[in-house]
Structure 1
Amino acid sequence: MSFALTTTMFAFLLFTFMYFLFKLYLHPKQKTLNHKKPPGPSTLPIIGNLHILGKLPHRTLQSLSKKYGPIMSLQLGQVPTIIISSSKAAESFLKTHDIVFASRPKVQGSDLMSYGSKGMAFSEYGPYWRSVRKFCTLKLFSASKVEMFGPIRKEKLDVLVISLEKAALEGEVVNVSEVVENLIEDIVYKMMFGRSKYEQFDMNKLVLEAMALMGAFNLADYVPWLGVFDLQGLTRACKKTSKALDEVLEMIITEHEQTTNTDKTRNEDFVDILLSIMHQTIDVEGEQNLVIDRTNIKAILLDMIAASVHTSATTIEWALSELLRHSRVMKILQDEIQNEVGNKRMVEEKDLKKFNYLDMVVDETLRLYPVGPLLIPRECRESITIDGYFITKKTRVIVNAWAIGRDCNVWSENADEFYPERFIDKKMNYQGHEFESIPFGSGRRRCPGIQLGLIIVKLVIAQFVHCFNWELPHNISPSNLNMEEKFGLSIPRAQHLQAIPSYRLDDAKHE
């Protein structure tokens, strides 16, 4: 055992002992209130239920909910927490009482990475969040803006199809996970920054580090008095990555400021749109003057990168994985697209509205592999009683979207199976009106970029299966393809998806 690890363990045990002494002899006993709280497993001192979460918390929490119910109480360190695991309970918390649970808890990762949680995802509920969300929804994610960036999506997909054609001719095994992630990066960065690549830095590496740190279990978030000691080294790591990202974003913003002054004809990107409101008051409620500065812009940009690149790539990766495992579904999808598009051209965005079975495939993928397995935690803004359970102010609420999408009471006994036909008579729109599958969240805090994300996901999947047939490498069969996931802000495959493409179009033209 290393000296550093031994020292960390000794420090933790020492402070645990001191905490016991404090609680036992110095801390006055609180009067107990006769309020019924949701059922849950027994807790340990200091850590509460932290020890039971395991490497895949969404699966652990699903299993526990079968014993304790869809509204379950946990004690995560010193943080009282409610776990929601059914569509009915989710509707109660995210619709009926949405305003009560509209805020976010303060966590160290977002505080350090997102400039004091000044982005949209992690900021507390209030005038600032409402104003920023409204601006971004209208100016960045409106239907007209989504359409405006269509040529970028086409350009990047055309380039990728040409490269995959070459791989097909040579019979290469393609790392599909890597190819998809690079494609989505290129599309998103071109929309946001006006270009996909920077020679001076590796944006994707920094973003991956930031997401890993923000998704990591941080003891300081649950036992705050240990935070000052940084026993896991996460504070140091967050500060280092945050500094590197800040330098990159400063470079990008400065470049845009200089280019805007010299080139008035170039196409507008997300940074340009955000810079257009810098130093302006954007408050639309009249509650207070909210002026957007550089810090706000950088926090919003980081949120959008984290919410778009890896979530979209992961969804596409799982969809293609399931299609490779289910040849029947793959054939139906390819036939649908070919019947509408023919065999002499690639899919265009205007074609997407014709593909009903593609919609079912995407809905089924999102049901089984939601964008975030556990929705970003909410925080109770006031004490409230729901379904006979008393929930105190500042309680953390975690919605297990992964478990909700696999609820046998809603989706029948084959809930764990990939079966797109279950959506034949059920059209999903993800705007917060249905709670049986909530991959983008619901209520006030649902993802504002749903339509942009869905267009990217559907277009890429359609293009991949229309332009190519896909086979697994020779040593892997559909039945033994590894489908294990890794836990984080999203749930990517534990192993990269590998497959062999063969081109299936006749003289398709690339513009």
Structure 2
Amino acid sequence: MEMLLCFFFLLPLFLIFLKNLKPSKWKLPPGPKKLPIIGNLHQLHELPPRNLSPNYGPVMLLRFGFVPVVVISSKEAAEEVLKIHDLDCCSRPETAGTRKISYNFKDIGFAPYGEEWKAMRKLSVVELFSTKKLNFSRYIREEENDLLVKKLMDSASRRSLVNLKRTLHTLVGSIVCRIGFGINLHECEFIDEDRVVDLVHKSELLEMTSLFSDFFPGGIGRFMDWLSGQKKRLDLVFSDLDTFFQNILNDHLKPVRRDAESSDIINVMVDMMEKQRDGDSFKLTTDHLKGMISDIFVAGVSTSASTMIWAMTELIRNPRVMKKVQDEIRTTLVDKESLREEDLNKLHYFKLMVKEIFRLHPAAPLLLPRETMSHIKIQGYDIPKKTQILVNAYAIARDPNVWKNPDEFDPDRFLESSVDYKGVNFELLPFGSGRRICPGMAMGITLVELGLLNLLYFFDWGLPEEVEAERIIKDNDVALDLVQVIRH
């Protein structure tokens, strides 16, 4: 009986495997040798930071189980994907983890391309990421940075060490929750500052988690998910996040909250949902609301905090650049008790330093995966419909054919360069490009710049004596936790 069950489960896989052995009528991209059944799954975690394009070219075909995946690793190929064929490949693939965190793809980041996604994105751009909203929420960013400075002043006076990872996640989490949800983390009943880092970690885990069902068809993959316990672990990780998101939604449904004047996007969506009519072509649901909450929290907190951590890491490792940046800031902004966003426009080299961080350490080394909606050609290769496309922003930003000494942290490279990071120059894509470019790009840039400006204007930074500067980056991960902060 057990042998019979095993046969029925393995037969479909075997038949698909035989089908894939047939020679293709198309000119497919090259790629590493595939193993039977699993394809290139054993290489799943090699991209990034490892760049396989020197061996296989800038358009490389992998097969994760039975899912074809094309990896793009040059600016020319990226331009074809994100500009020339943007409309043909701007949908998203479905995975178990993204289905969970997006509430069945009712969000912006992971939803497939279509009218529902267009409506959600338009709503976010108008109600959260417009220039008007960005200017209106300026006081929140400035207040939270002032509070950060006060806390660090206290640490500096006591000559105590600072956990910079936790500090910056708390800063960004506080700003994002106030702007996006109208919630003050310092006073909130259902979440505190210390839990922000834990929730961000769980959200990242969900995004990166792959189940057997993501790569193998039908009931076979789902059976393996159950047998391995992966699905249960995924549900446990998601449970805490879902509780947090539901608490945010419940808070917006309170009568006292609904009567108050508030302009955050969740209140706007609740109002829209209550005013819907039967004949409306697009109807908001609670899953849309929670999907929006998830996007704002997950994309808003993790990316900005990690970028600032990398910036401080590189500056501490490179004292020459640190001194040059701080000299510019402190000679341009003299005797200021607090900093404001308009101060950012007075600085030049500081902004080049931020640009170099976006190049060297993009928050999303692989842009969120796309899925082709029709057959296209990239660099002369055939890319069939329903193929996943991964743009390796990390590899492109370190391409030695484009960048001199690409692995070095050197803001001076931009002194005579017009290359920017806003989706027009395809050698630098920290926010993506095309229809799926990050809608919160302007907000993210401002968060990073203002946070770093306060850290570098008011304080001098160093490592504990037992930590060597050259050892704080290892295996492409940030090892910067405790640092010494000294009041300037």
TM-score (norm 2): 0.91
For residue 381 of structure 1, what is the aligned residue in structure 2? 373
Q: Percent identity?
A: 36
Q: Does 1:498 align with 2:482?
A: yes
Aligned with 1:408: secondary structure? coil
Q: Does 1:234 align with 2:230?
A: yes
Against the structure 1 CA distance between its residues 132 and 356, is the aligned structure 2 distance closer, same or farther, given a 3 Å change threshold? Answer: same
8 Å Cα contact 1:72/1:84 also seen in 2: yes
Q: How does 1:379-458 map to 2 (within 5 A)?
A: 379-412=371-404, 414-458=405-449
Q: Does 1:464 align with 2:455?
A: yes
Residue-by-residue CA offset, 1:273-311 (whole Å, 9 max, x unaligned): 3323224569xxx9x811112210111110111111011
Aligned residue identity for 2:68:
P
Q: Does 1:215 align with 2:208?
A: yes
Aligned with 2:359: secondary structure? helix
CA distance in 1, matches of 2:344, 2:249: 34
Q: Does 1:139 align with 2:124?
A: no
Aligned with 2:79: secondary structure? helix
CA distance in 1, matches of 2:350, 2:79: 27
CA distance in 2, matches of 1:254, 1:214: 25
CA distance in 2, matches of 1:334, 1:297: 42
Against the structure 1 CA distance between its residues 76 and 16, is the aligned structure 2 distance closer, same or farther, given a 3 Å change threshold? Answer: farther
Against the structure 1 CA distance between its residues 15 and 141, is the aligned structure 2 distance closer, same or farther, given a 3 Å change threshold? Answer: farther
For residue 6 of structure 1, what is the aligned residue in structure 2? none
Residue of 260, 265, 275 corresponding to 1:270? 265
418-427 vs 234-243, which moves further? 234-243
Q: Does 1:308 align with 2:300?
A: yes
CA distance in 1, matches of 2:147, 2:16: 69
For residue 189 of structure 2, what is the aligned residue in structure 1? 199
Aligned with 1:81: secondary structure? strand
8 Å Cα contact 1:58/1:374 also seen in 2: yes
8 Å Cα contact 1:35/1:390 also seen in 2: yes
RMSD: 2.5
CA distance in 1, matches of 2:130, 2:450: 18
8 Å Cα contact 1:360/1:420 also seen in 2: yes
8 Å Cα contact 1:185/1:196 also seen in 2: no
For residue 77 of structure 1, what is the aligned residue in structure 2? 65
For residue 242 of structure 2, what is the aligned residue in structure 1? 246
Q: Does 1:58 align with 2:67?
A: no
Give the deviation of 1:482 after TM superposition. 3.0
Against the structure 1 CA distance between its residues 119 and 21, is the aligned structure 2 distance closer, same or farther, given a 3 Å change threshold? Answer: closer
Give the deviation of 1:429 after TM superposition. 4.5
Structure 2 unaligned residues grouped into runs of 5+? none
Aligned with 2:382: secondary structure? strand
Give the deviation of 1:105 after TM superposition. 0.6
Aligned with 2:476: secondary structure? coil
Residue-by-residue CA offset, 1:122-151 (whole Å, 9 max, x unaligned): 110011111111121122101110111111
Give the deviation of 1:478 after TM superposition. 2.4
273-282 vs 385-394, which moves further? 273-282
Residue-by-residue CA offset, 1:86-120 (whole Å, 9 max, x unaligned): 11110011101111111001111111232111110
Aligned with 2:402: secondary structure? helix
Aligned with 2:68: secondary structure? strand
Aligned with 2:299: secondary structure? helix
8 Å Cα contact 1:430/1:450 also seen in 2: no
8 Å Cα contact 1:16/1:46 also seen in 2: no
CA distance in 2, matches of 1:384, 1:33: 15
Give the deviation of 1:338 after TM superposition. 1.5
8 Å Cα contact 1:278/1:292 also seen in 2: yes
CA distance in 2, matches of 1:112, 1:419: 40
Give the deviation of 1:243 after TM superposition. 4.3
For residue 329 of structure 1, what is the aligned residue in structure 2? 321
Against the structure 1 CA distance between its residues 226 and 425, is the aligned structure 2 distance closer, same or farther, given a 3 Å change threshold? Answer: same
8 Å Cα contact 2:162/2:483 also seen in 1: yes
For residue 8 of structure 1, what is the aligned residue in structure 2? none
Structure 1 unaligned residues grouped into runs of 5+? 1-10, 487-492, 505-511
Against the structure 1 CA distance between its residues 32 and 57, is the aligned structure 2 distance closer, same or farther, given a 3 Å change threshold? Answer: closer
8 Å Cα contact 2:315/2:322 also seen in 1: yes
CA distance in 1, matches of 2:180, 2:360: 29
For residue 102 of structure 1, what is the aligned residue in structure 2? 90
365-374 vs 238-247, which moves further? 238-247
Q: Does 1:299 align with 2:291?
A: yes
495-504 vs 368-377, which moves further? 495-504
CA distance in 1, matches of 2:351, 2:111: 32
CA distance in 1, matches of 2:310, 2:394: 14
Q: Does 1:369 align with 2:361?
A: yes
8 Å Cα contact 1:100/1:380 also seen in 2: yes
Aligned with 2:406: secondary structure? coil
Aligned residue identity for 1:19:
L
Against the structure 1 CA distance between its residues 162 and 299, is the aligned structure 2 distance closer, same or farther, given a 3 Å change threshold? Answer: same
Aligned residue identity for 2:37:
I
Q: How does 1:43-54 map to 2 (within 5 A)?
A: 43-54=34-45
Q: Across the two proteins, how many residue pairs are aligned to each other?
A: 476
8 Å Cα contact 2:128/2:264 also seen in 1: no
CA distance in 1, matches of 2:16, 2:76: 44
